Amino acid sequence: MDEKDLLLLQLLEENSRLTTREMAVMAEIAPDEIEARIAALESAGVIRSYSAVIDWERAGNGEVSAIIELKVNPERDYGYDRIAERIARFRQVRSLRLITGTYDLQLTVTGKNMQEVARFVSEYIAPMDRIRETATHIIMKSYKEHGRTFCEKEGSERIPYSL
Amino acid sequence: MRDYISKRGREIPPSGIRKFFDLALTMEEVISLGVGEPDFSTPWNICEASIYSIEQGGTSYTSNRGLQTLREALSRYLRDHYHLTYHPDEEMIITTGVSEGLDIAIRAVVDPGDEVLVAEPCYVSYSPCVTLAGGVPVPVPCLRKDRFRLNPDILMERITGKSKALIINFPNNPTGAVMRKEDLQAVADIVCDHDLVLISDEVYAELTYDGSHVASATVGDLAARTITLNGFSKAYAMTGWRIGYLCAPREICDAALKIHQYVMLCAPVMGQVAALEGIRRGEDEKNRMVSEYRVRRNLFIESLNRIGLPCHLPEGAFYAFPSVEKTGLSDYEFAEQLLKEEHVAVVPGSVFGQGGAGHLRCAYAVSRKDLNEAVRRMEAFIQRLK
Ligand SMILES: Cc1ncc(COP(=O)(O)O)c(C=O)c1O
């Protein structure tokens, strides 16, 4: 991993639809080398997938999301890993992290409506062995996701000319 | 009624692009490559620092020279980044933008009748400021064949017994040209031989893409006769905060300080507090913006050459300076028709003085999306010319 790799990662994170040719010009690297570098980053698991950042509220599909925090009794030899892997398998779970602080695991869950999210937590997550406590926070509004703000406008209008 | 307007007030030219400006304001969906400022908003930590300071009541004058903490931080920054050694209490003034720094630098060294060599194409305020100080601006053209660097032979031709100072700006607005150490060395020899003062506007120093910026005052014996100007507008995306700084040997600095004290008193404190945050904790954000400009430069220059506007790769600042010669139009005609027909604003190179004719200044400090759209429109325009 060198500086050029880092630049490629930044460019892709911002816009994963750039073509090889565009990236070659931007990063001052030959197209063949771009492809080789990206292939290497993919196979090393540094690039996990390519996706779009979507403002679902605006898309209006009516889904709701919640942040769920869990207190978990770790398992001998495995710590939190095995239970985390089980939780991660649910399609409803969008992200899952081990965190410091009062709680151990933090996940985001999406569902069609509040009831569905609540049911998912109470029926599937809370009853699992080793889960001692849950706290559910419904997300009311998203201001920023994946480094992108959802505000209407950034900054003010610039004048058309300045020398 | 008599004509109240002073001779100097009459003598300095009006803006060369007033007409374009008015035209652009009447249009919709203009993409402007005509702006000499970053498209980024000021990094938020810098804004927060200033907001907090205002909440704490930080709204008064500062000392004439500017906040001590800011000068000390700048002195260290200049040493660490550019090997410049300026004493924060004796050789530095915080100014209201580089704009003010230029004015007081010129007034500190120019007497009526003195000739001041101005390396052109350049920022539009240099010659008028010389005129306002009673001096006589003498253009020294930097040519495309020299990659818009200052050619020592041309400089020599313009020197007379009345020459007092030389103003240069690298990385350059509008050409993006950069002077390497050996280029500056040749200029240094001439400046020293003819006992000139060098006024070096280095406001784009941080926006140097290939290699690192060489500060004029570190070359040869220039330190003793150089006024270094820099500021926060460009590198930190802080144009509206109005903060720059002037660094010079003590005697020159003392003279400039007297002028500053009477005409400006001090630079705005809110801006100074913001600048301090920028210099202390703004490095990452600054580097992020610089790396983005570099990516845009690469994209844009490639596109310009592809659509038939030959352009050298600018090594600094955020301007491309393509030639329109092949299109058969003058730079004014090209810029005006492009604005009218395709709603893309660029600045005719002639506005920036000798050596600029036949070129356009296109600022690529706009989003990549807008840059791509501007290229698409420019290509359509050029296709129609054929
Ligand atoms: C070369 C040059 N010097 C000085 C300035 C003015 O800078 P400031 O905002 O610090 O007054 C500009 C702004 O466009 C510039 O391009």
CA B77 to chain centre: 20
Q: Decide if B51 is inside a domain.
A: no
Run of H or E residues at B71: helix B68-82
CA B39-B40-B44 angle, to 5 degrees, is: 160
**Ligand 1: centre distance to CA A84 (Å):** 55
- Testing the interface with B: which of A8, A151, A161, A162 to mutate, by most B Cβ within 10 A? A161
Q: How far apart are CA B268 and CA B245, in angstroms?
A: 13
Q: Which of B42, B233, B319 to mutate to test the pocket of ligand 1 (most atoms within 8 A of CB)?
A: B233
Kindly report, residue by residue over B21-69, the tens digit of the pLDDT.
888 989 989 999 999 999 999 999 999 999 999 999 999 999 999 999 9
Architecture of domain A3-43: Orthogonal Bundle (1.10)
Run of H or E residues at B368: helix B368-385
The answer to whether ipTM exceeds 0.90 is no
Residues B236, B143 share a domain = yes
Number of Cβ within 10 Å of residue A136's Cβ equals 17
Which residues have CB under 8 Å from B289's CB, separation 6+?
B38, B40, B235, B237
Global pTM reads 0.90
Please give the structure tokens belonging to residue B42.
């000021």
In the block, residue with structure tokens 């100074």: B272
Contacts of B31 in chain A (CB under 8 A): none
**Distance of CA A4 to CAs A14, A37, A46, B47, B291, Å?**
15, 9, 14, 31, 11
pLDDT band at B16; cut points 50, 70, 90: confident
Q: Give ranges for CATH 3.30.70.920 in chain A.
A: 56-140
Q: Give ranges for CATH 1.10.10 in chain A.
A: 3-43
For residue B306, pLDDT beyond 60: yes
The domain in which residue B178 lies consists of 59-282
- What CATH number should be reported for the domain holding residue B379? 3.90.1150.10
CA B209-B214-B217 angle, to 5 degrees, is: 155
Secondary structure of residue B115 in the 3-state scheme: strand
Kindly report, residue by residue over B175-234, the tens digit of the pLDDT.
999 999 999 999 999 999 999 999 999 999 999 998 999 999 999 999 999 999 999 999
Q: Decide if B2 is inside a domain.
A: no
Q: Which of B17, B41, B302 is the closest to A161 by Cβ?
A: B17
For residue B98, pLDDT beyond 90: yes
For residue B18, pLDDT beyond 90: no
Q: How far apart are CA A96 and CA A52, in angstroms?
A: 19
Are the beta carbons of B336 and B265 closer than 8 angstroms? no
Q: Decide if B53 is inside a domain.
A: no
For residue A153, pLDDT beyond 80: no
Are B17 and A162 inside 8 Å of each other by CB?
no
Amino acid at B343: H
Q: How far apart are CA B299 and CA B372, in angstroms?
A: 9
Beta strands at B344-345 and B31-32: parallel, antiparallel or unpaired: parallel
pLDDT, greater one: B207 or A58: B207
Are the beta carbons of B197 and B225 closer than 8 angstroms? yes
Architecture of domain A56-140: 2-Layer Sandwich (3.30)
Kindly report, residue by residue over B154-178, the tens digit of the pLDDT.
999 999 999 999 999 999 999 999 9
Cβ–Cβ contact A154 with B under 8 A: yes
Q: Decide if B47 is inside a domain.
A: no
For residue A154, pLDDT beyond 70: no
Amino acid at B7: K
What whole-number percentage of chain A has pLDDT above 70? Answer: 97
H-type helices in B111-238, by residue range? 126-132, 152-158, 181-193
